[in-house]
C-alpha cells in the first residue's frame, strides 16, 4: 500500500455506474489503472457481456477467468501495479456458485442442459444480479494463504444509472423469489459487502441535463437504500478557451463580428472585407453556440456541487479514447485524489 492519502482509502469495492453514453467503462478502466498505481493489484470486473474492457485495452474477448490486462504506472512513470480483468458470465457464475456452496459442478452441467441455468440466469427475477454481485464480492473478500486479500481493490463496471439501485439491492431483488432458503442467504451475504464502508458507488456523468439529473436521482436512491455513495466523475470536460466576458456577450448573441474581422485580417486568414465578414459571422455563430453550452454546463456543475459529494473532472480526449488516453485519465484521477 502506498502512503499517499486518497479520498477512498479503505474502499475495496468501487462500483462504477452512469447513464449510457457517459463513458462508464472508460472511467472504470482508468480508475482501475489509477488504483493499481503504487504496486497494487486491482481487478476490473465487467458484467454486461459487452466485452467493453477487452475492446478498451485492445485485447481479444476476455474468457471467464481473471486475466492480467494492463500494467499500471507509478510516480516516475515506471511499471508499478497490475490490473486484472474479469468478464462475468452469469451462467459460469451460477456453476461457480453451485460448486462453491454445494460441490455440485457436475449436477450444474446437467442443469445447463435442460435449461435450468438459462432459466436461473436470464429469467428468474434478480437471480442473475445476485450471481454477478456475488461473484464480485467473492473477489473482494478472497484471501491468500497468509490471510491477505488477493486484490487491493475491485472496480465493477456496473449497469447504467437507471438500473443500478435495483442491481445492488440484491436482498430486495430476490425477496419475491425467495424469502428464505439458500438464495436469500446468499443475497444477504452479498448485501453485507455492498452496504459496508468497503464499498463506494461512483457516478459518471457529463455536464448535460439528463445525465446530471440521473446522477442526482441515483444518489438519492442509493441513500434511501442505505448503500454507500462514492464520488461523481464528470467526464469529457471541454477546456475553456474563450474568456468569460466574451462568452457572456456571445451567449446573449451580441458578439460583435467586427472585432473578429479585424483579428482575422491581422492573422492573414481573410483576403478581402467580404471574405473576412463571412468567416467572422460563421465563427461568431460557433462561439454563440459554444457559449450557450458553457452556460448550461455551468448550471449543471452547480447542481452537482449541491450534492456535496466529492467531484472529479476528466478532460474530453480530442483523439478519442485509446490506451494512451486511458493512462492520461488515470493520471488525472490520481492528481485529484480519486485514487
Residues 152-191 that bind another protein (CB under 8 A): 159-160, 162, 166, 173, 175-184
Residues 240-259 that bind another protein (CB under 8 A): 241-243, 246, 253, 259
Nearer Cβ to another protein (189/269): 269
User: Dihedral sign, CA of 159, 165, 171, 175?
Assistant: negative
Grid cell of 326 as nine digits:
486511458
According to the binding rule CB under 8 A, does residue 283 interact with another protein?
yes
According to the binding rule CB under 8 A, does residue 209 interact with another protein?
yes
Picking from 30, 32, 59, the residue whose alpha carbon sits closest to that of residue 45 is 32
Nearer Cβ to another protein (260/330): 260
According to the binding rule CB under 8 A, does residue 36 interact with another protein?
no
For 73-93, b/e burial (b = at least 16 CB within 10 A) is beeeeeebbbbbbbbbbbbbb
Residues with Cβ < 8 Å from 165, sequence gap 6 or more? Answer: 218, 221, 222, 225, 227
Residues 96-125 that bind another protein (CB under 8 A): 97-98, 102, 104, 107-108, 110-111, 114-116, 118-120, 122-125
Nearer Cβ to another protein (183/330): 183
264 with 278: CB under 8 angstroms?
A: no
According to the binding rule CB under 8 A, does residue 21 interact with another protein?
yes
Per rule CB under 8 A, count of chain residues that contact another protein: 83
Grid cell of 294 as nine digits:
458553457
> In Å, how far are 196, 263, 272 from 259, measured between CA atoms?
59, 6, 15
Q: Which stretch binds another protein (CB under 8 A): 2-10, 31-39, 194-202, 238-246?
A: 238-246
d(CA 306, CA 301): 9
- Minimum CB distance to another protein, residue 198 (Å): 26
Q: Which of 220, 262, 305, 335 binds another protein (CB under 8 A)?
A: 262
Amino acid at each position: 500500500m502506498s502512503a499517499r492519502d486518497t479520498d477512498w482509502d479503505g474502499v475495496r469495492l468501487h462500483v462504477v455506474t452512469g447513464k449510457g453514453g457517459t463513458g462508464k467503462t472508460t472511467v472504470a478502466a482508468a480508475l482501475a489503472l489509477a488504483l493499481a498505481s503504487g504496486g497494487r493489484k486491482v481487478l476490473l470486473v465487467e458484467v454486461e457481456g459487452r466485452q467493453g474492457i477487452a475492446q478498451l485495452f485492445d485485447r481479444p474477448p476476455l474468457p471467464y477467468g481473471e486475466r492480467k490486462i494492463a500494467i499500471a504506472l507509478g510516480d516516475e512513470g515506471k511499471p508499478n501495479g497490475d490490473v486484472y480483468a474479469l468478464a462475468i458470465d452469469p451462467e459460469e457464475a451460477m456453476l461457480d456458485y453451485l460448486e462453491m456452496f454445494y460441490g455440485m459442478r457436475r449436477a450444474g452441467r446437467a442443469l445447463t442442459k435442460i435449461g435450468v441455468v438459462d432459466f436461473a440466469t436470464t429469467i428468474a427475477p434478480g437471480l442473475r444480479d445476485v450471481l454477478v454481485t456475488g461473484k464480485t464480492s467473492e473477489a473482494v473478500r478472497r484471501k491468500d494463504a497468509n490471510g491477505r486479500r488477493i486484490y487491493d481493490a475491485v472496480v465493477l463496471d456496473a449497469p447504467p444509472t437507471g438500473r443500478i439501485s435495483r442491481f445492488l439491492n440484491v436482498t430486495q431483488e430476490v425477496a419475491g423469489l425467495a424469502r428464505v432458503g439458500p438464495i436469500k442467504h446468499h443475497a444477504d451475504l452479498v448485501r453485507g459487502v455492498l452496504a459496508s464502508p468497503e464499498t463506494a458507488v461512483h457516478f459518471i456523468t457529463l455536464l448535460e441535463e439528463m445525465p446530471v439529473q440521473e446522477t442526482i436521482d441515483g444518489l438519492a436512491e442509493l441513500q434511501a437504500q442505505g448503500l454507500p455513495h462514492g464520488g461523481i466523475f464528470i467526464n469529457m470536460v471541454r477546456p475553456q478557451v474563450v474568456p468569460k466576458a466574451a462568452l457572456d456577450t456571445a451567449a446573449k448573441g451580441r458578439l460583435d463580428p467586427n472585432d473578429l474581422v479585424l483579428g482575422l485580417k491581422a492573422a492573414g486568414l481573410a483576403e478581402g472585407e467580404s471574405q473576412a465578414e463571412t468567416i467572422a459571422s460563421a465563427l461568431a455563430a460557433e462561439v454563440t453556440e459554444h457559449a450557450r453550452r458553457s452556460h448550461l454546463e455551468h448550471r449543471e456543475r452547480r447542481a452537482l456541487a449541491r450534492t456535496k459529494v466529492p467531484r472529479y473532472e476528466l478532460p474530453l480526449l480530442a483523439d478519442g479514447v485509446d490506451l494512451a488516453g486511458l493512462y492520461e485519465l488515470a493520471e488525472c484521477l490520481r492528481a485529484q485524489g480519486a485514487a
